A and B are shown apart, each in its own frame.
Chain A
Amino acid sequence: MNSASTRHGSRARLSPGLGTHSCRLSEVEGPARLASTGLELKLLNRLISMGLAPGREVLVISRGRSGVLLEVDNSMIFVGRGVARLLACEVCDRGR
């Protein structure tokens, strides 16, 4: 079971056994899995080269009007709100 403390960003993984639902990255705080979407190729390339490939698990550390701050593979990446709104992801039903 996913017992992530989403407010404080403790280590958490999406549990495959739990129900998940899709939403936008800008709406999430806590663990999420990036989903494949119809992003334009240029943006997709940039995201992938920085480690934000579809299917990758990320942890949204904090979100606000500027965008989201997330952790992926032990690195912290800021994604502006415009892009965070475009990025689809899957979260556990409890992780939203």
Chain B
Amino acid sequence: MDAKIVLFGHPNVGKSVLFNQLTGLTAIVSNYPGTTVEVYEGEARVEGFRLRILDAPGAYSLLATNEAEDVARRLLLEGRPDLVVQVADATSLRRHLYLTLELMELGLPLILVLNQVDRAEKVGIKINEEELERVLGIPVVLTAAVEGRGIRELLKTIIDVLRSGRVPSPPRLSPEIEESLAKLEDHLIDKLSPELRRFSRALASLVMLGDEGFSHLTEGMPGEFVEHLEKLGRDLALARAELASAICERVVVSGEKALKPSVIDRLLVRPAAGLIIASSIMLAVVWSMLAVIHEIGHRLPSTLYYGLYEPIVRGSLDSALPDGLIKYVLIGDSPGIYSSLGLLTTGVFFVFFMILPCLFILYLVLGVLEDSGLLPRLAVPFDAPLRKMGACGEAMCPMVAGSGCSIVGMFATRILRTEKARFIASFIQWIGIPCMAEQVMIWLVLGSYGPTYVALLYAVLLATTIITGLVLNALLPGGEEPLIMEIPPWRRPQLKNVLKKTVVRLREFLLKGTPLVLMGVLVVNLLYYTGLIGTLAGFLGPVVSGLFNLPGHVAASLVIGVLRKDVAVGVLRAVAPGMTALQMLTAVAVVTLYFPCVGSLVVTLKELGPKRTLLMIVIMIIITIVVGGLLGFLSRLYPG
């Protein structure tokens, strides 16, 4: 028998850890709210049941305030689940019971999982689970998902509930609220699709609470009743909160304080100190990674590539293959890493000797940052500056995630609460935050002229981002939402989890990124083989040479940039050898700014729609002309 189960709950309570435990899969787990913004699906087979388990994005309430919460809610209202498992944090039950009471209104079988019970026990918090089960009328299971504790009991409870099909009764509130809810339900019932009719009570609550997604349902209702709805909504929210509090008083024995704010936490709310701390940490991380990558970039080619790999591959294929297209495509016609442009030489070097080792280091560091709890803390000091650019502090998490891969970052903008903030945060990722693979190439290609030029590039990207953000904020319509954000506790990153995430991300790069990297190298190779590079350079010459003061062959990089920006930067030395440092800086800036890579473009189209994507592309092209033109002017002024 098949059953669909949705894991639902606040952000950062351990849903994905539980999902991994139940399904044996590896959904990425981190210590910041909004790690999961898509729905992950896995399977478990227990006692003849095939359980399809869905890991929903975190949501504080059924009243969705951002795209991620909306995705989670739709999973319940439109996904036809057989069972909902609410995952709550055992150390702060009171905050989670409000959502429990909301979920009980759905009329779906429900289990409450109190996770992180190990932490709760450590600080002496005791929960009377039998009493909680009795009061709520739903099964309660205690788990410590990280340790695998309580998983067997949870699976057993899931099977019991699926067999019994028991549905909780909605919580009873004051007679006035109940009467109004019933009246509203009567009004709504005919307007709802057959699928949504079963949720009429929950939807009546949402309408009463002013949910904008269902506001159309109030059309045709008596005017005075609609006017009265706001007061009723307020009463409903307060009554539920009081009920949650009263239940908590009955079942929880408080322990010691579970939360230990650090000095950094206290300083975050002071803008100057917060910004200095946050920026110093980020700079220290970036520059120490740069040092490591610099080492890798110099040692690997000389030892492994030139010393071992190239003599074997080139040595054997050069004599075995006749001159012609195949040989040219595989190993090119010259031995240098950058000048060969063969799939087995430059292509393999890019993927296995340059990008992968560096990504391994970068993803390890990103994993540590994610698990430590630092990322959400960055939101606080950066809130004010980002608001001036039309985004908000919460955009820091997607932006840091986007430094790994902009596709991930684009999805992560779902946690933002306004369309304007989403648009601007997505745009910032397109122009201001090169993905890690591209950064590796930037550090190696531009870094070969000296670290100053890498720093200069970042300064150019930062200035461009800030100016564009300020302009977009002034021009685009739309309001802003205040920052109210849960800050997770500091945690010592677990090596196992960090390594697991790193492996998942590297596998992702190998499966999805590598074919595009090789295709990029192949395209440049064929442009040279067929002589089309000359035609392309002639066609784009007025812009590339005239405006940006770059050799015409850089046009090949711009074409490749649509596929992969890392390759586009990587081949710059091959397509245009002998560029000055300022010219290389201009070329890298133009490649970074002019157009998104294909993966990021597809996701943006899906997330923001064609109109906004087109607008972003137009703005990008304008920015490229301005910034590239200015840098080109400088490189003419200082040709040395």
Residues of A within 8 A of B486 (CB): 50, 75-78
Tell me how many residue pairs across A and B have CB atoms closer than 8 Å. 149
Q: Quick one: given A71-B261, A83-B484, are A49 and B98 in contact (CB under 8 Å)?
A: yes
Residues of A within 8 A of B483 (CB): 67, 78-80, 83
Contact A66 B265 (CB under 8 A): no
Residues of B within 8 A of A19 (CB): none
Q: Quick one: given A41-B234, A45-B61, A77-B485, are A62 and B95 in contact (CB under 8 Å)?
A: no
Is B489 positioned at the interface, with any CB of A under 8 Å from its CB? yes
Q: Quick one: given A41-B230, A49-B63, A67-B483, are A76 and B383 in contact (CB under 8 Å)?
A: no
| Interface of chain B residues 273 through 329 with chain A (CB within 8 A) | 274
Contact B484 A80 (CB under 8 A): yes
Name which of B235-243, B552-560, B605-613, B622-630 contacts chain A.
Answer: B235-243
Residues of B within 8 A of A74 (CB): 91-92, 123, 125, 257-259
Residues of B within 8 A of A71 (CB): 259, 261
Q: How many residues of chain A are within 8 Å of chain B by beta carbon?
A: 40
Residues of A within 8 A of B259 (CB): 71, 74-76
Residues of B within 8 A of A73 (CB): 92-95
Contact A66 B92 (CB under 8 A): no
Q: How far is the CA of A79 from the CA of B393 in the complex (A)?
A: 12
Is B540 positioned at the interface, with any CB of A under 8 Å from its CB? no
| Interface of chain B residues 87 through 120 with chain A (CB within 8 A) | 89, 91-95, 98-99
Contact B261 A56 (CB under 8 A): no
| Shortest CB distance B21–A (Å) | 23
Q: How far is the CA of A55 from the CA of B489 in the complex (A)?
A: 24
Residues of B within 8 A of A45 (CB): 61, 63, 209-210, 233, 237
Q: How far is the CA of A75 from the CA of B98 in the complex (A)?
A: 15
Q: How far is the CA of A96 from the CA of B28 in the complex (A)?
A: 43
Q: How far is the CA of A53 from the CA of B488 in the complex (A)?
A: 20
Q: Quick one: given A48-B241, A53-B245, are A78 and B94 in contact (CB under 8 Å)?
A: no
Q: Quick one: given A49-B61, A55-B245, A80-B482, are A66 and B266 in contact (CB under 8 Å)?
A: no
Q: How far is the CA of A42 from the CA of B233 in the complex (A)?
A: 10
Q: Which A-chain residue is minimally distant from B252 (CB atoms)?
A: A73
Q: How many residues of chain B are within 8 Å of chain A by beta carbon?
A: 51
Among A49, A56, A68, A78, the most chain B Cβ lie within 10 Å of the Cβ of A49
Residues of B within 8 A of A46 (CB): 60-61, 65, 484
Q: How far is the CA of A55 from the CA of B244 in the complex (A)?
A: 12
* Binary interface encoding of chain A residues 36-49 relative to chain B, with 1 for a CB under 8 A from any of its CBs, else 0: 10000111111111
Residues of A within 8 A of B380 (CB): 66-67, 69, 78
Cβ-neighbour of A67 out of B125, B245, B269 (below 8 A): B269
Q: How far is the CA of A55 from the CA of B210 in the complex (A)?
A: 22
Q: Which B-chain residue is minimally distant from A61 (CB atoms)?
A: B261
Cβ-neighbour of A80 out of B233, B258, B383 (below 8 A): B383
Is B460 positioned at the interface, with any CB of A under 8 Å from its CB? no
Residues of B within 8 A of A44 (CB): 234, 237
| Interface of chain B residues 181 through 210 with chain A (CB within 8 A) | 209-210
Contact A62 B268 (CB under 8 A): yes
Q: How far is the CA of A51 from the CA of B91 in the complex (A)?
A: 13
Q: Quick one: given A9-B261, A45-B61, A83-B484, are A78 and B269 in contact (CB under 8 Å)?
A: yes
Residues of A within 8 A of B241 (CB): 48, 53-56
Q: Which A-chain residue is minimally distant from B241 (CB atoms)?
A: A53
* Binary interface encoding of chain B residues 31-68 relative to chain A, with 1 for a CB under 8 A from any of its CBs, else 0: 00000000000000000000000000000110101000
Is B270 positioned at the interface, with any CB of A under 8 Å from its CB? yes
Is B434 positioned at the interface, with any CB of A under 8 Å from its CB? no
Is B487 positioned at the interface, with any CB of A under 8 Å from its CB? yes
Q: How far is the CA of A72 from the CA of B89 in the complex (A)?
A: 13
Is B384 positioned at the interface, with any CB of A under 8 Å from its CB? yes
Residues of B within 8 A of A76 (CB): 259, 261, 265, 486-489
Residues of A within 8 A of B63 (CB): 45, 49
Cβ-neighbour of A55 out of B95, B98, B242 (below 8 A): B242
Contact B257 A61 (CB under 8 A): no
Is B381 positioned at the interface, with any CB of A under 8 Å from its CB? yes
Residues of B within 8 A of A64 (CB): 268-271, 274
| Shortest CB distance A66–B (Å) | 5
Is A11 positioned at the interface, with any CB of B under 8 Å from its CB? yes
Q: How far is the CA of A85 from the CA of B125 in the complex (A)?
A: 33
Q: How far is the CA of A9 from the CA of B380 in the complex (A)?
A: 19
| Shortest CB distance A73–B (Å) | 4
Residues of A within 8 A of B230 (CB): 41
* Binary interface encoding of chain A residues 2-28 relative to chain B, with 1 for a CB under 8 A from any of its CBs, else 0: 000000010100000000000000000
Cβ-neighbour of A42 out of B98, B210, B257, B489 (below 8 A): B210
Contact A68 B94 (CB under 8 A): no
Residues of B within 8 A of A61 (CB): 261, 265-266
Is A33 positioned at the interface, with any CB of B under 8 Å from its CB? no
| Interface of chain B residues 479 through 509 with chain A (CB within 8 A) | 482-489
Residues of A within 8 A of B487 (CB): 69, 76-78
Among A9, A45, A83, the most chain B Cβ lie within 10 Å of the Cβ of A45
| Shortest CB distance B589–A (Å) | 32
Q: Quick one: given A55-B245, A74-B92, A83-B484, are A69 and B258 in contact (CB under 8 Å)?
A: no
Q: Which A-chain residue is minimally distant from B485 (CB atoms)?
A: A78
Q: Given A9-B266, A11-B257, A45-B233, 10 other A-B contacts at CB below 8 A? A: A41-B209, A43-B482, A45-B210, A48-B98, A64-B274, A69-B266, A75-B92, A75-B95, A78-B268, A78-B484
* Interface pairs (30), CB distance under 8 Å: A11-B257, A41-B230, A45-B209, A45-B237, A49-B60, A50-B95, A51-B92, A53-B98, A53-B241, A55-B241, A55-B245, A61-B265, A62-B266, A67-B380, A68-B269, A69-B268, A69-B487, A71-B261, A72-B92, A73-B93, A75-B89, A75-B91, A76-B259, A76-B261, A76-B488, A77-B485, A77-B487, A78-B269, A78-B483, A80-B383
Which of A's residues lie within 8 Å of B, judged by CB?
9, 11, 36, 41-56, 61-69, 71-80, 82-83
7 closest A-B pairs by CB: A51-B95, A64-B269, A49-B61, A53-B241, A64-B270, A80-B483, A62-B266
